[in-house]
Chain A
Amino acid sequence: MRQNGFTAAAHAVAWRNIHNWITNPALFVPSLLFPMFFFTAFAGGLSRVDSVPGFDYGPGYTTFVYGFVLLQAATFGGIFTGFSVARDFESGFARRLMLGATSRGGIVAGYWLAALVRAACTITVITVVALLVGLEVHGNGIDVVGLYTLALTMNAFAVLFGTGVAMRLRTMQAGPAIQVPAFLLLFLAPVWVPYDLLTGWVQGAASVNPVTLVLESGRGFLAGDPTKVLPAFAVVGVLVALTTLWARGGLRSAERVA
């Protein structure tokens, strides 16, 4: 019975969020376009950067940028779902949902499922475009599975983090508190050039940023030269474990006022 309540709540929340996302152009279009803009701007506008001495990534700059945009799309699929949680609380829907759901954990699972679908759609579109403009995947099937597993785990981390913030603040004003930390984690990594070519404070930040490991591992999978695989999976595992606790705390906080 408990299992059914969990599944029913997860299914209902996921379906509602996916439906809202697909049928509302103001939500659907930006979430697809932003990663596309990043990919186009960097892969197209910065491709000459692979001529910089010391840039030694075999599959080329388009693939190098794809490694980042993939993680970005997956992470922001989770972040945008965090916004949906905040919107649901602000409109009062989430409180009614919490009164009606027999398993409130299912609500968080539903948001996670919605984020997963959202990220999968965005990643599919970006991958098709990237393949059309010169993405080269040198890795084998296992590498590809590793690459997308990393990306989808980042998606889970992002949605759990966003849900935790949104359930604590319960207002759309939580947007920057959800977005800015994720943005900083992503962009304080070796985004445009390999780590060795970074300079200044960004190199210092990238050296302690756990996403650097994830990004370098993803690019290793794309190049067919898996690097730092265990540390990268350990990092995303720890991030998901911590944000699961964070989201659970957010749920408890929301339950107290529901």
Chain B
Amino acid sequence: MNQVLLLAHRSVVRTLRQPAMVVPALVFPLMLLSINSSGLESATRLPGFPTDAYFQFALAIPFIQGALFSANSAGTNVASDIESGFLNRLSLTPLRRVALMMGQLTGILALGLVQALTFVGVGIVFGDGIAAGLGGVIVIVALSLTISLAFGCIGAFVALRAGNGEAVQGVFPLFFAALFLSSMSLPRDLIENDWFQTVATWNPVSYMLEGIRSLVIDGWDAEALALGFACAGGLALIALAAASSALRTRMVRT
């Protein structure tokens, strides 16, 4: 347990001490939120649009974008540990793989917490607040951390399989594809193209967005929240298992 805490502390410090990891993960999502919400305000005039302020609709997007940056950071950190030989030395300790992975990912969760609190704060200050109130804020933060963990595990999995940071950077655009091909810009029932609506319906990112969005716009929506947590949690579990398996393979190689 002590070793896991040491790893977790190291992970938090190395993540939050790097402005190159923290600043873009906060600034870029907020910049896009600001531009999108002003540029697409006229979309709220579409019949059936769920709110009359696009900012409220778009507020869910930074949480997912932030998580995508987390995936990149987690992958880059793990790849750096592989390239520097740190992971080889860790493999000599009696740590369990899942514990080792969680220790490595604590920094991403810390970054996720900073992001979630910042984005919620921006939503409250510049928007119409969170419809679900204080309880909703807590649930948004919890869902956001689950999403960060899920994408962080995917980043770590890619790094462990490939063993270098370049591969993580190469996969980064695919993470963004998942966001772009979702109900990011319009509600699914307002998407006109059939193929895009089908892809968005099968894309788990749509449900993560809609879970957060429901708390911001509607208040408490059990179905949207259940789907959001199921998709984020399910993805986190699968990715954590895959990353642990990749870690075992890498340790066998060493």
Contact = CB atoms under 8 A, between A and B. Distances in A.
Q: Do A and B bind each other?
A: yes
A199 B41 contact: yes
Given A45-B196, A202-B39, A30 B173 contact: yes
A202 B35 contact: yes
B184 interface: yes
B84 to A, nearest CB: 19
Q: Which of A26, A176, A193: most chain B CB closer than 10 A? A: A26
A124 to B, nearest CB: 19
Interface string A176-208: 100000000001101111000111111100000
B169 interface: yes
B39 A48 contact: no
B170 A41 contact: no
A197 B38 contact: no
A30 B172 contact: yes
Contacts of A26: 166-167, 169-170
A192 B37 CA distance: 11
Interface stretch (A32-40, A158-166, A231-239, A245-253): A32-40
A239 B173 CA distance: 30
Contacts of A49: 40, 42-43, 46, 186
Interface string B47-59: 0000000000000
Interface in B144-201: 166-167, 169-170, 172-174, 176-177, 180-181, 183-186, 190-193, 195-196, 200
Given A25-B170, A26-B170, A41 B39 contact: no
B79 to A, nearest CB: 12
Contact of B43 (A52, A176, A187): A52
Contacts of A199: 38, 41-42
A51 B35 CA distance: 21
Contact of A45 (B42, B166, B185): B185
Contacts of A197: 42
A48 B38 contact: no
Contacts, number: 100
Contact of B173 (A29, A45, A53, A193): A29
Interface in A36-83: 37-38, 40-42, 44-49, 51-55
B45 interface: yes
A33 B173 CA distance: 7
Contact of A34 (B43, B173, B193): B173
Nearest to B45: A52
Q: Which of B34, B37, B173, B183: most chain A CB closer than 10 A? A: B173
Given A26-B167, A30-B170, A37-B180, A44 B42 contact: no
Given A40-B181, A45-B186, A193 B40 contact: yes
A203 B167 contact: no
A91 B49 CA distance: 52
Contacts of A46: 40, 43, 185-186
Contacts of B45: 52-53
B177 A42 contact: no
Nearest to A47: B192
A34 B190 CA distance: 24
B180 A45 contact: yes
Interface in A125-150: none
A42 B36 CA distance: 12
Contact of B177 (A33, A188, A201): A33
Contact of A51 (B41, B46, B172, B181): B46
Interface of A: 25-26, 29-30, 33-34, 37-38, 40-42, 44-49, 51-55, 176, 187-188, 190-193, 197-203
- Considering the complex of A and B, which 4 residue pairs feature the smallest CB-CB distances, nearest first? A41-B180, A44-B196, A202-B38, A200-B38
14 contacts: A33-B174, A37-B176, A40-B181, A45-B184, A46-B186, A47-B193, A49-B46, A51-B46, A191-B39, A193-B39, A200-B38, A201-B34, A201-B38, A202-B35
